[in-house]
Amino acid sequence: MHVLFVHQNFPAQFGHIAHHLIRRHAFRCSFVSQHAPADSDGLNRVQYQLQGGATEATHYLSRTFENSVWHSHAVYDALRRRPELRPDLVVAHSGFLSTVLLRELYDCPIVNYFEFFYRTIGTDLDFRPDFPSPEITRLRSRIRNATLLLDLENCDRGYSATRWQRDLMPGIFQPKVKVIFDGIDTSIWRPRPDVDRRIGNWRIPPGKRIVTYATRGMEALRGFDIFMRVAKLVCDRRPDVIFVVAGQDRIAYGGEQDQIGKRTFKEWVLANDRYDLSRFLFTGLLSPQNLAELFALTDVHIYLTVPFVLSWSLLNALACGAVVVGSDTPPVREMIEHGKNGLLADFFDVEGLAATVNEVLDDPLAYRPLGQVGVDLVGRKYSLEVCLPQMLQLYQEAVTSQRAS
- Tens of pLDDT, residue by residue over 165-218, are 999 999 999 999 999 999 999 999 999 988 888 887 788 888 899 999 999 999
Asked whether the bond before 389 is cis by omega within 30 degrees of 0, the reply is: no
pLDDT bracket for residue 47 (50, 70, 90):
very high
pLDDT tens-place string over residues 69-126: 999 999 999 999 999 999 999 999 999 899 999 999 999 999 999 999 999 999 999 9
Residue type, 261: G
**349 to 176, 230, 317: CA distances (angstroms):** 38, 9, 22
Mean pLDDT (whole number) for 334-352: 98
Radius of gyration of the chain (CA): 22
pTM value is: 0.95
Percent of residues, the chain, with pLDDT higher than 90: 91
First-last CA distance in the chain: 19
Helix, coil or strand: residue 311: coil
Mean pLDDT (whole number) for 287-307: 96
pLDDT tens-place string over residues 213-239: 999 999 999 999 999 999 999 999 999
Q: Whole-angstrom Cα distance, residue 86 to residue 402?
A: 16
Q: Which of 78-92, 197-211, 301-315, 388-402 has the lowest mean pLDDT?
A: 197-211
Q: Is 405's pLDDT higher than 60?
A: no
pLDDT bracket for residue 40 (50, 70, 90):
confident
Mean pLDDT (whole number) for 302-308: 98
Apex 149 CA angle, 146 and 150, nearest 5: 90
Tell me the torsion sign for CA atoms 32, 33, 34, 36: negative
- Of 390 and 263, the structure prediction assigns the larger pLDDT to 390
Q: Which residues are CB-contacts of 289 (< 8 A; sequence separation ≥ 6)?
A: 188
- The answer to whether the beta carbons of residues 323 and 223 sit under 8 Å apart is no
β-pair type (43-47, 38-40): antiparallel
Selection from 146, 66, 70 nearest residue 101 by Cα: 70
Selection from 251, 236, 216 nearest residue 350 by Cα: 236
Q: Is 163's pLDDT higher than 60?
A: yes
| pLDDT value of position 403 | 60
| pLDDT value of position 225 | 97
The 3-class SS string of 385-403 reads: HHHHHHHHHHHHHHHHHHH
| pLDDT value of position 404 | 61
pLDDT bracket for residue 261 (50, 70, 90):
confident
| pLDDT value of position 196 | 83
- Of 253 and 35, the structure prediction assigns the larger pLDDT to 35
| pLDDT value of position 153 | 97
Mean pLDDT (whole number) for 251-274: 89
| pLDDT value of position 199 | 81
Mean pLDDT (whole number) for 353-380: 98
| pLDDT value of position 393 | 97
Q: Which domains does the chain have, with CATH numbers?
A: 2-183+384-404 (3.40.50.2000), 198-382 (3.40.50.2000)
